[in-house]
Chain A
Amino acid sequence: MTTPSQFEQTAYYKALMHKMLVTIMTVSFIPVFLVSSTIFYQFRISYKEKIYAQFMDIVQKHTMSIDMFLTTKLQEIQYLSRSVTMQKFTENMFLQQQLILMQQVYGPVLVDLGVINDQGDQTAYAGPYSLAQAHYTDAGWFRKVMADSYDISDVFLGLRGVPHFVVAVRNYQDGKPWILRATIDFEAFNTLVKKIRGGETGFAFIVNREGDLQTRPTFTNHLDKHVIKMLFKEKTIPNKSVNAHIIETVDASGVKVIYTASLLKNGDWLLIYRQNASDAFSRLNQTQTISVIIFVLGGIGIVIMASVISKRMVHRIAVSDHEKEILNQQVIETGKLASVGELAAGIAHEINNPVAIMVEEAGWIQDLLDEEEFRQSENLDEFRRAVTQIKTQGARCKDITYKLLSFARKTDPRQQDVQINNLISELTALSNQRAKLSRVEIHAELTENLPLLRLPVSELQQVILNLINNAIDAMERKGGQLFIYTRREERHVVVEVSDTGSGIPEANLSRIFDPFFTTKPVGKGTGLGLAICYGIIQKMGGEIRVRSTLNVGTVFTVYLPIPDANHHSVDECKER
């Protein structure tokens, strides 16, 4: 027979365990995965929206403030140019005074001031450079200001070789245009943009339509002209509600970058805020990493638990299968025993006839030996002994076949009302002769007014007779006392048969009701008597118990069920 652990090694259990493992894991993983990915997806979207809104906000605010700065500068110069005539400006000290005044009021943002006539000649100059006689007809800003009445130029190096840009306004004096020009300090303007920072990689800068830098970026990344073109394209038609735009792109070094841009200076310049996506979404990425770690750890937990649970379950299934197999085998054994019993009964029936003839023939020889002619025979005693032996052994055969038949036959199932005390009295009377021969005294102490039982009488007789005979057998050598008690215990009538025999060793007590188990000497017992009794009492719905003490004696207790219909008579008996 295989053990449960060997059982589990078979392909069937391995496949079962595998199936369980896969099922548990699938059922656990799918909802976790769906829920967490949905939540994370939603979180990602809203977080991105929030970050984009932040970027737009930054860019829009700064665009406004830079535009404001430029407009203010323009207005200051316009005011100055209109406050006095061109002649007044040409007085050298006046321009110098105005410059100092403005620098005092607005800080050192204005580097110099100059007055240029319609020929492009600088007629007056105040500032740190020696540009008094400079000629500007070729400068872009000069042409623009002559055409448009004012201009704020791009940043350029110009004659002085230092980055700067120009704010110029045109005015008329005696029908002739003249220009008041101011130079804005690049560093002062650059600071405005440079202070726009975010995270570790976020910085801002300004470019013109040609893609030239108008400020000095914090990080000198390579500027992708294509991106700038794209950003300008998006902004060629300025949208009133949204005047900032965001694009996400991958730069030359393969880093994902977010550009937020807004037009300023009437669409000539673009304020660009640039930040690496990984930096902008660092919190999001952190959350993602944590979730992945949790998911992986949870997954490992699920896998471990699934394998432990499926292993345990398969073990339990294997154990119960194993038990079932044992039970099946027992059922088969029992079936075998039953068919063996039937077979034995058939044989016993057949053997009875020849045995009967043998015994009678032996009896006939015995009869003949009594006659005159054999009395003188010297072997007469031997003949007698042999014949007696044949008869004895024949009787033994009869005894065996009788018991085999009892064991296997279908008993009379008819139930009758039985007064147990009467039945016991009859049986003790029957056994008295045998008891006397074995020097056994039978004492019956029977409780009166016991309720009637409804049982098959012949079977009950068989049981009690068997117990009495066993008790006598147990005391056969030394003699002794046999007690039979009857009494009532709740729903049962109890019959107790006890002897003062040698007792049964404890090791044998548990096997005493097994078929073919006997403690009697070889040839004396078949080992069927108590097995039959046990079967009969079980079928009646009763119980048979045994307790024994070595060298003191044995007590067999039979519990017989009282039928429900007897309730009344029993109660009446009690009242009496």
Chain B
Amino acid sequence: MADEMSLSEKPRLRLLLVDDEAGFVDVLARRIAKRNIQVCKAYSGYEAVQILRKEPFDVAVLDLKMADMDGIELLKILKKMAPDLQVIILTGHGCEAAARDGMSHGAADYLIKPCDFEELTAKIQQTALHRREF
């Protein structure tokens, strides 16, 4: 929920990271923040909605399977709240069909968990860029 880092003076890329696996969200947030991205963590779908209400984000990374809410449902809600928010879906192996389903609901991209960190940051940068162009 808290901002991890706010070192840069430039308008930084704002990222919302949503996953109910706390350990994963924490370490990922720390590493992403180190790459000059402003990261906000949400440990559930509900929390993600609360945070998005308060502040805008460029990109959201969503886990598809969460205890309280289905990733696709959350995607629909978030897209309704902020139509130009870029969403990257993280999905477990064997759930590509669900991920592709997410793409049809407006997700920008998807990655299969566990993913390569460099690939993830690259995709975040890429989609953010896309958003700005858009």
Q: Residues of A at under 8 Å CB distance from B?
A: 349, 352-357, 359-361, 363-364, 367, 398, 401-402, 405-406, 409, 412, 458
Contacts and interface: CB of A to CB of B under 8 A. Distances in A.
A361 B94 contact: no
Given A367-B34, A398-B114, A412-B97, A357 B92 contact: no
Given A357-B21, A357-B24, A357-B27, A363 B92 contact: no
B93 A360 contact: no
A361 B92 contact: no
Contacts of B31: 360, 363-364, 367
B28 interface: yes
Contact of B114 (A356, A361, A406, A409): A356
Given A352-B92, A367-B31, A359 B97 contact: no
Interface of B: 21, 23-24, 27-28, 30-31, 34, 92-94, 96-97, 113-115, 117
Contacts of B97: 412
Contacts of A367: 30-31, 34
B21 A353 contact: yes
Interface centre among A360, A367, A409 (most CB of B within 10 A): A360
A353 B24 contact: yes
Contact of A355 (B28, B30, B92, B114): B114
Nearest to A411: B94
A9 B28 CA distance: 69
Contacts of B30: 364, 367
Nearest to A405: B93
Contacts of B21: 353, 356-357
A301 B50 CA distance: 98
A412 B96 CA distance: 10
Contacts of B27: 357, 360-361, 363-364
B28 A360 contact: yes
B96 A458 contact: yes
A360 B94 contact: no
11 contacts: A349-B92, A352-B93, A353-B114, A356-B21, A356-B113, A363-B27, A398-B114, A401-B93, A402-B93, A405-B93, A406-B94
B120 to A, nearest CB: 10
Q: Kindly list the 8 A-B residue pairs having the minimum CB-CB distance in the complex, ordered from nearest.
A: A356-B114, A360-B27, A409-B94, A357-B23, A405-B93, A357-B24, A361-B27, A367-B34
A349 B94 CA distance: 10
Interface centre among B23, B30, B114 (most CB of A within 10 A): B114
Q: Majority SS of interface residues in chain A?
A: helix
Contacts of A402: 93
Contacts of A398: 114
Given A349-B93, A356-B113, A363-B117, 19 more contacts: A352-B114, A353-B21, A353-B114, A356-B24, A356-B114, A356-B115, A357-B27, A360-B27, A360-B31, A364-B27, A364-B30, A364-B31, A367-B31, A401-B93, A402-B93, A405-B93, A405-B94, A406-B94, A409-B94
Contacts of A356: 21, 24, 113-115
B122 to A, nearest CB: 14
Interface centre among B21, B93, B97 (most CB of A within 10 A): B93
Nearest to A354: B23
B96 A360 contact: no
A502 to B, nearest CB: 30
A364 B34 CA distance: 9
A398 B119 CA distance: 15
A464 B114 CA distance: 23
A361 B24 CA distance: 9
A359 B93 contact: no
Contacts of B34: 367
A409 B92 CA distance: 12
Contacts of A405: 93-94
Contacts of A352: 92-93, 113-114
A359 B120 CA distance: 14
Contacts of A412: 97
Nearest to B30: A364
Contacts of B93: 349, 352, 401-402, 405-406, 409
A360 B117 contact: yes
A470 B113 CA distance: 24
A266 B31 CA distance: 151
Contacts of A357: 21, 23-24, 27
Nearest to A391: B117
Nearest to A403: B93
B103 to A, nearest CB: 15
Contacts of B96: 458
A401 B96 CA distance: 16
A364 to B, nearest CB: 5
Contacts of A409: 93-94
Nearest to B118: A363
Contacts of A361: 27
A361 B23 CA distance: 9
A360 B30 CA distance: 10
A412 B94 CA distance: 9
A458 B97 CA distance: 10
A357 to B, nearest CB: 4
Nearest to B112: A402
A416 to B, nearest CB: 13
Nearest to B94: A409
A202 B94 CA distance: 110
A458 B95 CA distance: 12
Contacts of B28: 360
B58 to A, nearest CB: 22
A528 to B, nearest CB: 14
A354 B21 CA distance: 9
A359 B114 contact: yes
A497 B95 CA distance: 29
A118 B107 CA distance: 167
B113 A360 contact: no
B92 A360 contact: no
A88 B32 CA distance: 181
A405 B113 CA distance: 13
Contacts of B23: 354, 357
Nearest to A410: B94
A402 B24 CA distance: 19
Nearest to A356: B114
